[in-house]
């Protein structure tokens, strides 16, 4: 857990240093009611997983991943906006420390569209921080069960999301963005282990999503 928070802190510190090197024209466009802000981000998805596997015990392990993200933000007022986040990531999966040893469960793609409502604290300024909260729907696709088990099935998940970040205006319509989210994501997993029978797992993935990118205001 400490390592995950350290990564988040380093990402924010580095982004602030980069943001401080940009000059902003006095005529820069501020965030205003009716504006659309479209961003492209590079994100790191860092699961903070907890799990219960029956009857063989052990813990589920998901790999960290880096991917691209596209999001669309609409400003209802100067301060209040709604953001839809679209991304998909591929994660390696394993069951570690079970009664029959470590099991390679192949990989799974996560498609987690997330809708948040944000409050922007300084929409007229060059540095505009925000906080958001919302809901996440996580779908699983392109599942590869790996070389050991016959099949793995992941249930769809609905969860809560928290978000914080800032935009830094670097030209009339272009801004630099840093964003951190925490998503509470739980999935029931059914593993067809062939001769060993059916194995059930309840997995809290609860990832941190750390992103940085560029936004354009329309």
- What CATH code is carried by the domain that includes residue 86? 2.40.160.20
Q: What is the pLDDT of residue 179?
A: 97
Q: What is the pLDDT of residue 6?
A: 52
Q: What is the pLDDT of residue 25?
A: 47
187 versus 213: which is more confidently predicted? 213
Please count the structural domains in the chain.
1
As a whole number of angstroms, the distance between CA 29 and CA 25 comes to: 9
- Residue 24: which pLDDT band, with cuts at 50, 70 and 90? very low
- Give 90-106 as a DSSP string: EEEEEEEEETTEEEEEE
As a whole number of angstroms, the distance between CA 93 and CA 96 comes to: 10
- Domain span at residue 15? 2-217
- Classify strands 208-217 and 36-46 as parallel, antiparallel or unpaired: antiparallel
Residue-averaged pLDDT of the chain: 84
Compute φ and ψ for 135, nearest 5 degrees.
-130, 145
If we measure between CA atoms, which residue out of 207, 169, 158, 139 comes closest to residue 37?
169
What DSSP designation does 30 have?
Answer: P
Q: What is the pTM of this model?
A: 0.80
As a whole number of angstroms, the distance between CA 124 and CA 176 comes to: 15
As a whole number of angstroms, the distance between CA 57 and CA 52 comes to: 7
Structure tokens at 114: 């997330």
- Residue 29: which pLDDT band, with cuts at 50, 70 and 90? low
- The whole-number average pLDDT for the span 183-200 is 83
- The whole-number average pLDDT for the span 2-18 is 48
- Residue 66: which pLDDT band, with cuts at 50, 70 and 90? very high
- Residue 167: which pLDDT band, with cuts at 50, 70 and 90? very high
- The whole-number average pLDDT for the span 195-209 is 85
Query: Does the pLDDT of residue 81 top 80, yes or no?
Result: yes
- The whole-number average pLDDT for the span 126-140 is 94
- Residue 59: which pLDDT band, with cuts at 50, 70 and 90? confident
Strand partners, 95: 60, 103
């Amino acid at each position: 857990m400490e390592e995950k928070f350290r990564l988040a802190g380093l990402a924010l510190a580095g982004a602030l240093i980069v943001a401080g090197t940009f000059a902003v024209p006095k005529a820069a466009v501020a965030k205003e009611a009716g504006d659309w802000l479209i961003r492209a981000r590079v994100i790191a998805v860092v699961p903070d997983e907890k799990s219960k596997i029956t009857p063989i015990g052990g813990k589920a392990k998901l790999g960290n991943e880096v991917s691209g993200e596209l999001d669309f933000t609409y400003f209802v007022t100067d301060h209040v906006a709604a953001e839809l986040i679209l991304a998909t990531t591929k994660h390696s999966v394993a069951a570690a420390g079970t009664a029959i040893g470590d099991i390679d469960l192949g990989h799974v793609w996560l498609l987690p569209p997330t809708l948040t409502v944000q409050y922007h604290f300084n929409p007229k300024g060059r540095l505009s921080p925000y906080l958001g909260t919302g809901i996440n729907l996580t779908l699983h696709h392109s599942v590869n069960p790996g070389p050991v088990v016959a099949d793995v099935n992941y249930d769809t998940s609905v969860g809560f999301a928290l978000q914080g970040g800032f935009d830094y205006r670097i030209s009339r319509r272009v801004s630099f963005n840093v964003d951190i989210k925490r998503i509470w994501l739980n999935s029931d997993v059914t593993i067809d282990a062939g001769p060993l029978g059916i194995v059930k797992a309840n997995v809290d993935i609860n990832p941190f999503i750390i992103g940085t990118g560029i936004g354009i205001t329309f």
